[in-house]
Structure 1
Amino acid sequence: MLTLWTALAAWYGAAAGLLLPRAVYRLAVDPDEPWRAHCPYGHPLDGVARGWWGRARCGACGGAYGPGEPPSVAACALVCALLAATVGVRPELGVWLLAAPFAVLLAAVDRAVNRLPDVLTLPLAAGTAALLGLAALHPDAAGSWPRALLGGVVLAGVYFVLFFINPSGMGFGDVKLALTLGVALGWYGWGVLLVGAFLGFLLLAVYGAVLLLRGRAERGTEVPFGPFMVLGALAGVVLGGLAA
């Protein structure tokens, strides 16, 4: 049964990944611009025929733009399969699977332009908290909803302090993303939250050290933190699911 759920989750993740390239292109913009409204060839991207989700290809002229499908498909499929294999058939798995594509989308946008847009971070935090509240009503739920909410507040508070101390080293978008990740990690316990948060910083430090050693960066170079926050939280949720 678990193998079947893992396979289904991988297929779901692959399908969700197919929808992300256009959203990545539209949201990978400068901070003073909410999102792109036109393709590189000047055609509008709004409307039912084009919209936000799908291939990064203009519906008017057929021209390709932005990232291709393989990276997002592979990332979403791998993340969803890993979650299903470790969390098992529990009510919170549905929450993780719904949140995973948006987390991948945020990581991709942050990697492209060092930006975590409010249009994703704030709804994701609210949606994750609300859905976990519903999951907690099921007798097979393996976490605590009140602790999840408190975990979101605590982790976001820690990130806010770090942002306040050194605004040039951390963006306020990271603080907002920490709210969602804290909710997810806090669901399984304070130890899981600590591990997931620590791994995010550790992965960032290792990546920065590699860039310095290879001469591809210098001290003060901005490195997007969002992808490493997501990876650390994913590892924490996986560990929490296994322990539960």
Structure 2
Amino acid sequence: MIVRVAGAGTPVWFVVLLGVVGLVVGGLTGRRLADGGYRTEYDEAGALPRVWWWPAPVLALLWAFLGWRLGDYAGWAALPAFLLFAWLTVGLVWIDADVHRLPDGLVLPAYPALLVLLLVATLGLGDWRALWRALACLAVVFGVFFLMNLVSPASLGFGDVKLSGLIGLLLGWLGVQEAVTGVVAGFLVGGVVALVMLVAQRVGLRSHIAYGPSLLLGTFLALAFEYQLVA
């Protein structure tokens, strides 16, 4: 049978604390995004999103979830990298949904930032194989998405390719299974979203659908639904 792996046994007070801090940081992030400072003259965008407050509860839930899921793994050293990625997720989902673009100003600096944080996490874990595995998953996932972009650039933008490397790096640090699950989940979520929008006639067959949010959701699904096969 297949059983789902439980959380890390983090104290409830710490999970609540992360949720409260995430609520505050998410609120500040939403207010900053609401001014549209990320937009450029080349973006084809309409009115700014009016629901500016949603990053607050979303980041609160993500940070609380990560505190429960990872907890004191690697002596608490692993948590900062995942918290940073959750904050990045909120910003990228907002921007990609608005202007169908994943800005280099957020994605590219995240590479050295996550590398440094995962290096610290590796020192806390005491197992250098985790870092080498993360780098290998980064290369493989980035390579797969790069080839997909070459084959069908209209279906998968290069911003998604750059984002995929971050996902491979982060999930690959935990394990190859997590990286594979995250990528597959991202594809499945993207397919379901596209199908629903087509059925609802919100988009056409030639319309561009923001794929970044699906990739990011797939990452957290890989963390939420880590399964083990038990004989």
For the superposition of Structure 1 and Structure 2, which TM-score range results when normalised by the shorter chain?
0.7 to 0.9
Of 144, 152, 175, the match for 1:166: 152
Contact 1:192 1:237 in 2 (8 A): yes
| Letter paired with 2:220 | L
When normalised by structure 2's length, the TM-score is: 0.84
Q: Secondary structure at the match of 1:137?
A: helix
Asked whether 1:27 is paired with 2:38, we answer yes
TM alignment of 1:1-244, pairs within 5 A: 2-21=11-30, 22-23=32-33, 25-29=36-40, 31=42, 67-90=50-73, 91-139=77-125, 144-239=130-225
Contact 1:151 1:190 in 2 (8 A): yes
The equivalent of 1:37 in structure 2 is none
For residue 196 of structure 1, report the CA deviation from its aligned partner.
Answer: 0.4
Amino-acid identity (%): 30
CA distance in 2, matches of 1:97, 1:140: 21
For residue 67 of structure 1, report the CA deviation from its aligned partner.
Answer: 4.3
- Tell me: CA distance 1:233–1:107, structure 2 relative to 1, closer, same or farther (3 Å): same
Point out the more displaced range, 1-10 or 222-231: 1-10
Q: Secondary structure at the match of 1:26?
A: coil
Q: CA RMSD in A?
A: 2.4
Point out the more displaced range, 19-28 or 227-236: 19-28
Contact 2:186 2:215 in 1 (8 A): yes
Which fold has the larger relative contact order, with Cα–Cα distance below 8 Å and residues 6 or more apart in sequence?
2
For residue 140 of structure 1, report the CA deviation from its aligned partner.
Answer: 7.0
Q: Secondary structure at the match of 2:123?
A: coil
CA distance in 2, matches of 1:107, 1:210: 18
Point out the more displaced range, 224-233 or 99-108: 99-108
- Tell me: CA distance 1:66–1:212, structure 2 relative to 1, closer, same or farther (3 Å): closer
**Which segments of 5 or more consecutive residues in structure 2 lack a partner in the other structure?**
1-9
Q: Secondary structure at the match of 2:206?
A: coil
Q: Once superposed, which parts of structure 1, at least 4 consecutive aligned residues long, lie more than 6 Å away? A: 140-143
The equivalent of 2:7 in structure 1 is none
Contact 2:49 2:98 in 1 (8 A): no
**Which segments of 5 or more consecutive residues in structure 1 lack a partner in the other structure?**
34-39, 41-64
Contact 1:142 1:188 in 2 (8 A): no
